Structure 1
Amino acid sequence: MNIGIVGAGAIGNFLMKEINHNGVGEMRIQSVFVRDQIKYQNLEHQFNIKVFDRLDAFLDSGIDIVVEAANIAAVHDLFPKILSEKDVVLISIGALADEDFLHKMNDLAETYKRTIHLPTGAVGGLDLLQNAHTCGGVTSVSLTTRKPAQTLIDEYVSKEVVVFDGHASEAIKQFPKNINVSIILSLAGVGIEQTNVTIIADPTVENNIHTIDIEGSFGSASLSVTNNPLAENPKTSHLAAMSVLGTLDHMTKRIKLGG
């Protein structure tokens, strides 16, 4: 499978290293699209790829699928066009918090017979949630996110502070850069108006901690994940980068676990 990447930041570089240098799976990153071709020209020799700054040329470069490793603005600007020609993997899932854009992307996928892949990112348990929701048996989904205090609030605090408690729809508006997890949970389960979110600024923790609680006719489940940062960029979760790699590798397998 030949892969094209939009963006050349921490996750893009992680994927190029793991796939092209370390040989993960039956995959090869062939092309990268960036705004400034000259700035990233060195990637061509480093990873044996081709760098493009023209979208049409990038899409015509022999790639089978496009991975977005940029930002929400890039998803809105570029991916309606890209989806008309290629299957896609979206990392900036926050773009889909806009319900009009979500419907637009779904309609384009239907029209052009394309698939939009959403990596699980910094959490787990989404397979359980999806399976339970398929049968209509989920009654409650809640997310408690605990982050280092300085990443959420400016003032010094000596003990934890709840900075948000409400539905995911409002959490997304108030903390768009901090709550991607709530969006993927909402899409997998009961929606943004029914998914409960609590965000805690905690001066005693160094990493992000996400706890998911699910209840329904199947019973109940609770999962807590503590994320280490990606070495190349402490602002990026290592697990989030790994989930993109895992999503791509999953596509190449003949025996598939889950969806």
Structure 2
Amino acid sequence: MTQSRKKLRLALIGWGAINRRIAELLAERSKGDIAIAAVAVRNAAAAINIPAGAELITGPGELAGLNLDLVVEAAGREAVGIWGEAALAHASAFAVASTSAFCDDALLDRLIATAESRGSQILIPPGALAGIDGIAAASLLPLDEVVHRIVKPPAAWRGTPAESLIALDTLTEATAFFSGSAREAASRFPQNANVAVISALAGIGLDRTRVELVADPAAAGNGHQLSARGAFGKLDLAIENRPLATNPKSSEMTALGLVRLIENRMRTLVR
């Protein structure tokens, strides 16, 4: 006799472009084994069209009693500090999309301590990247270098400090406007270079991972070029993602990677 698997109960922190896309994809793909139990927002009046059956919550204490298996955050770096400890206390895992929050070492240490005391896990999704599993595996041996180049159309850099560094509206060719550590890139450009924290935590850390940010008028999507060198050998990888239709600063792949993470919590064959 086959034993039935219990339904996964999920809470989404934030109801912006990424989590709305996650809910849309889960609704299309779900076989009834994943339930969005709650959607957490700062302003309840602004949360429209949340999934049927989901409870709308506005404070971390409201996660208690929801019998959650997984909490997924996609609400910006401040939300990680606000919701993280409660998420780890009331669910077995907390997936963090706004990884730029982990530029704050004290916050990361606090969440790790909470997870250890509660027996829960902090999950770092691959975001808009590919090859993160390879860098993480390679880091078991010494890594000499990890370089992460992020290339996006000028429109994706509007509303960021890039506007004060280059003339986005008159670019005629690919132009690099920042080069530095992953920590600095994610701190200064949290909406666009948040993903640099993912490659850094997978490999040689926030201060040794080098990041270059580029605005390219010829770019059709949001591109990432990863290069790693070390005792394992060499890795060179490039990916160009379609931006989310509702937010050009984020990639469709970010939502897809989170859906894969969620579904893998239920799969017999994890891939």
Do both share a fold (TM > 0.5)? yes
Q: Does 1:89 align with 2:95?
A: yes
Residue by residue over 1:93-126, the C-alpha shift from the partner in whole angstroms, topping out at 9 and shown as x without a partner, is: 1111111111111111111111011110000111
Are the structure 2 counterparts of residues 41 and 148 from structure 1 closer, same or farther at C-alpha, using a change threshold of 3 Å?
Answer: closer
Q: Which amino acid aligns with 2:22?
A: L
- 1:48 corresponds in structure 2 to 53
Alpha carbons 1:35, 1:53 under 8 Å: kept: yes
Distance in 1 (CA, whole Å) between partners of 2:263 and 2:241 is 21
Most deviating of 34-43 and 125-134: 34-43
Q: Which amino acid aligns with 2:148?
A: L
Name the count of aligned residue pairs: 254
Q: 1:181 aligns with which of 177, 195, 205?
A: 195
Give 1:41 deviation, angstroms.
Answer: 5.7
- 1:84-233 matches, within 5 Å, as 84-86=89-91, 87-134=93-140, 136-152=141-157, 153-154=162-163, 155=167, 156-233=170-247
Are the structure 2 counterparts of residues 75 and 161 from structure 1 closer, same or farther at C-alpha, using a change threshold of 3 Å?
Answer: same
Distance in 1 (CA, whole Å) between partners of 2:206 and 2:233 is 22
Give 1:42 deviation, angstroms.
Answer: 4.2
Distance in 2 (CA, whole Å) between partners of 1:35 and 1:150 is 27
Distance in 1 (CA, whole Å) between partners of 2:90 and 2:182 is 32
Distance in 2 (CA, whole Å) between partners of 1:58 and 1:33 is 9
SS of residue paired to 1:47: coil
Give 1:245 deviation, angstroms.
Answer: 0.4
Q: Which amino acid aligns with 2:188?
A: Q
Are the structure 2 counterparts of residues 206 and 113 from structure 1 closer, same or farther at C-alpha, using a change threshold of 3 Å?
Answer: same
Alpha carbons 2:67, 2:90 under 8 Å: kept: no
Most deviating of 33-42 and 246-255: 33-42
SS of residue paired to 2:33: coil
Q: 2:66 aligns with which of 61, 70, 74?
A: 61
Distance in 2 (CA, whole Å) between partners of 1:24 and 1:229 is 27
User: What is the percent sequence identity of the aligned residues?
Assistant: 28
SS of residue paired to 1:84: helix
Distance in 2 (CA, whole Å) between partners of 1:38 and 1:181 is 30
Q: Which amino acid aligns with 1:229?
A: P
Give 1:15 deviation, angstroms.
Answer: 1.9
Give 1:150 deviation, angstroms.
Answer: 4.2
Alpha carbons 1:3, 1:65 under 8 Å: kept: yes
Q: 1:6 aligns with which of 7, 13, 16?
A: 13
Are the structure 2 counterparts of residues 204 and 3 from structure 1 closer, same or farther at C-alpha, using a change threshold of 3 Å?
Answer: same
Distance in 2 (CA, whole Å) between partners of 1:41 and 1:242 is 22
- 2:250 corresponds in structure 1 to 236
Distance in 2 (CA, whole Å) between partners of 1:42 and 1:223 is 38
Distance in 1 (CA, whole Å) between partners of 2:229 and 2:267 is 32
Distance in 1 (CA, whole Å) between partners of 2:28 and 2:54 is 11
Distance in 2 (CA, whole Å) between partners of 1:170 and 1:38 is 35
In the superposition, the TM-score normalised over structure 1's length comes to 0.90
SS of residue paired to 1:243: helix
Residue by residue over 1:16-73, the C-alpha shift from the partner in whole angstroms, topping out at 9 and shown as x without a partner, is: 2222354168322121122233443642xx5332222343334322322211121111
Give 1:244 deviation, angstroms.
Answer: 0.4
- The Cα RMSD (Å) is 2.0
In the superposition, the TM-score normalised over structure 2's length comes to 0.86
Alignment gaps of 5+ in structure 1: none
Q: Does 1:76 align with 2:90?
A: no
Are the structure 2 counterparts of residues 130 and 53 from structure 1 closer, same or farther at C-alpha, using a change threshold of 3 Å?
Answer: same
Most deviating of 16-25 and 137-146: 16-25
- 1:36 corresponds in structure 2 to 43
Q: Which amino acid aligns with 2:191?
A: K
SS of residue paired to 1:184: helix
Are the structure 2 counterparts of residues 239 and 42 from structure 1 closer, same or farther at C-alpha, using a change threshold of 3 Å?
Answer: closer
